[in-house]
Structure 1
Amino acid sequence: MSQLTDDPGRAGTWMTPAEYGASRAALWTGAVVLVTDPHGRILLQSVDYRAERLLPGGAVDAGESPSAAAAREMREELGVDGHYPRGLAVDWIPADTPAFPPETRFPGEILHVYDGGTWTAERIRAIRLPDQEVTGIEFAEPADLPALMDPGCARRALSALRARINGAGPALLEDGRPTAPTALDRLGVLRTRRVPEHGTWHPGPVPAHLPVRTHSGWLFAPDGRVLLLIAHATGAAHLPTAADGPRAGALPLGYRATGHGALARTAARLPAPATGSDPAYARLLATPEQVRELSDWGPAGAEEVACVHAARARLGLPLAPRTPPTELPERGLGW
């Protein structure tokens, strides 16, 4: 780091204040907010000055903090008052990004992504659009973002959503790409559409008259996390299934009824040492809440997770804190 001096004859790495100021990079600063609905879809807005969808937000004004800019932009663009103290990502956007026409002389930008949380239907209905600039809003499936947004914006939004699910603090991004990718980033989780499993959650065993379409298991590790499978080819996330029914000793957790039968859930401990796996899948350990956030279960997902924690307590296992999902060790787990 160069040091400052007022002596123009000073040799070495010393710089005058004018020289030092001229050497520093000048970048724009922006702030956007990531909001989801109860189905895990992301709030996007259409604007009258470009074809691609955007996260709500915009430029940070002179003398304004990024978090204050985020709150101001949400109020101006959506008519919603709020405070957004939690950051999800900070992205460095290079000067040569194709999203800006040459006449803007875009110098590059530092963009802050804040967590707007999950909005209820009532809060969504409270949105009021301005008379100009924002022409509409929609909630988009995460996998659809690359088709709706500029490529860098889509990467940034997905990286921020994964950072929210990880729960380990803001992600540092360069052109939307994490500088320290987590397992969710490396596996490209949420790059394909999630399989909807909607409907009312029914605790307890599946009634005898209702055919069981699939069995899925919440399999607990000793630390209270559960096994989650991620398809290498698609990034799709799902609980492990058992084509021949639940494993011995499993607790009947509940089910969702569909037109083709019941989607049954059970809970059990991971078998020890839990080695061996299908090479088509990565095996992660995640909290039940993270499993829900990577799935399309709708509002009833909260009821299912409540039953999962009740089963965890019955199995005498601890409540796992939210940490980034990690791959199951190759040596497996012992009890």
Structure 2
Amino acid sequence: MTQLTDDPGHAAIRMTPAQYGASRAVLWAGAVVLVTDTAGRVLVQSVDYRGGRLLPGGAVDAGEAPAAAAAREMREELGVVGRYPRGLAVDWIPSDTTAFPPETGFPGEILHVYDGGTWTPERIDAVRLPEQEVTGIDFAEPADLPALMDAGCARRTLSALRARVNGSGPALLEDGRPTDPTALDRLGVLRTRRVPEHGTWHPGPVPAHLPVHARSGWLFAPDGRVLLLIARATGAAHLPPVGAPRPGALPVGYRATPRGALARTASRLPALAPAADPAYARLLATPEQVRELSDWGPAGVHELACVHAARARLGLPPAPRTPPTELP
């Protein structure tokens, strides 16, 4: 093979096919699948050859496409038959990673992360583990992944999970770190445990006999997205608190707790002044993204339905999924 230069003052650099082949980087290839349950927890598996937890998946065999390898590994490790065409991330793992013992001669790896979707309890119950290799599965809170996995695996999984929330295509990673970080990456969303807001969802206004413990608002921008606050110190995401209901605000619903009702209202987003509290970043996100970054339990789907009903009453369009954008 010949590589030529456009500079006539330099001689052409000539390489034989063997020399060119020897000059190319040699890397392993792998494929894993990111699965969550309806609570937004990540499926991780225990294996008999590693101490830390792993996403289901493994090596891409010679001549095998990465997506085919992901489907094969899911079938072999969990007894689940499926296809995983949607990629969430492609990670370059350097050769000096500590995940492999030196005697493997690990040259580095290109690892594909595919979206396995959200599994219902019925689908989880259908998992069948093999007699060897995989010893168990669990669903872990995203913030707990660094304690369960090695550092690179945890970074990669959280980056892939944020890419799924963003919905803008696969993230390119280097050792688990995005080469082009989004707002969710920069703010470290999901690095601390989500605040649980469980309990039965009740649509409509809070009954007069029930005290309101806290009230937060679905504040809609004209494009159908809503305001979301992110604590810069922790990456915690939550809807903005509101005081007494503003004129025109719609009662979305509430959750009853021992301390009183956690009430939600919906209204149009007022004109925003510069942020008064620098400890919080302000993002515009879709209602679905807000739910995925929150721990609302099974009632979250019912709240989301009420939110979209309120949005329609406000005469606003449904927002297509785009990466959450930070406001100045």
Could you tell me the TM-score, scaled by structure 1's length?
A: 0.94
1:211–1:261: 8 Å Cα contact kept in structure 2? yes
The unaligned stretches of length 5 or more in structure 1 are: 5-10, 331-335
How far the C-alpha of 1:59 sits from its partner, in A, is 0.2
* Matching residue's letter, 1:302: V
How far the C-alpha of 1:201 sits from its partner, in A, is 1.2
Corresponding residue SS for 2:35: strand
Aligned residue number for residue 98 of structure 1: 98
Corresponding residue SS for 2:276: coil
Aligned residue number for residue 311 of structure 2: 312
Corresponding residue SS for 1:191: coil
Whole-angstrom CA distance in 2 between matches of 1:276 and 1:260: 30
Corresponding residue SS for 1:215: strand
Aligned residue number for residue 32 of structure 2: 32
2:58–2:70: 8 Å Cα contact kept in structure 1? yes
Whole-angstrom CA distance in 1 between matches of 2:275 and 2:158: 31
Q: Does 1:164 align with 2:146?
A: no
Aligned residue number for residue 251 of structure 1: 250
Aligned residue number for residue 207 of structure 1: 207
Aligned residue number for residue 291 of structure 1: 290
Change (3 A) 1:273 1:261: closer
Whole-angstrom CA distance in 2 between matches of 1:178 and 1:155: 9
Whole-angstrom CA distance in 2 between matches of 1:37 and 1:245: 35
Whole-angstrom CA distance in 2 between matches of 1:37 and 1:131: 24
Aligned residue number for residue 119 of structure 2: 119
Aligned residue number for residue 138 of structure 2: 138
Whole-angstrom CA distance in 1 between matches of 2:272 and 2:119: 41
Q: Does 1:60 align with 2:74?
A: no
1:217–1:246: 8 Å Cα contact kept in structure 2? no
Mean Cα deviation higher: 13-22 or 158-167: 13-22
Corresponding residue SS for 2:14: coil
Whole-angstrom CA distance in 2 between matches of 1:43 and 1:247: 42
How far the C-alpha of 1:111 sits from its partner, in A, is 0.1
Whole-angstrom CA distance in 2 between matches of 1:55 and 1:276: 39
* Matching residue's letter, 1:13: I
Whole-angstrom CA distance in 2 between matches of 1:113 and 1:247: 45
* Matching residue's letter, 1:259: P
Mean Cα deviation higher: 98-107 or 181-190: 98-107
* Matching residue's letter, 1:17: P
Aligned residue number for residue 88 of structure 1: 88
Could you tell me the TM-score, scaled by structure 2's length?
A: 0.96
Q: Does 1:175 align with 2:178?
A: no
Aligned residue number for residue 236 of structure 2: 236
Whole-angstrom CA distance in 2 between matches of 1:203 and 1:277: 32
Corresponding residue SS for 2:305: helix
Change (3 A) 1:232 1:135: same
1:92–1:108: 8 Å Cα contact kept in structure 2? yes
The unaligned stretches of length 5 or more in structure 2 are: 5-10
Aligned residue number for residue 71 of structure 2: 71
Aligned residue number for residue 333 of structure 1: none
Aligned residue number for residue 217 of structure 2: 217
Corresponding residue SS for 1:50: coil
Aligned residue number for residue 8 of structure 1: none
Q: Give aligned-pair identity as a percent.
A: 84
Mean Cα deviation higher: 19-28 or 302-311: 302-311
Q: Does 1:323 align with 2:325?
A: no
* Matching residue's letter, 1:304: E
Runs of 4+ in 1 over 2 A off after TM superposition: 1-4, 244-249, 273-277
1:253–1:266: 8 Å Cα contact kept in structure 2? yes
* Matching residue's letter, 2:239: L
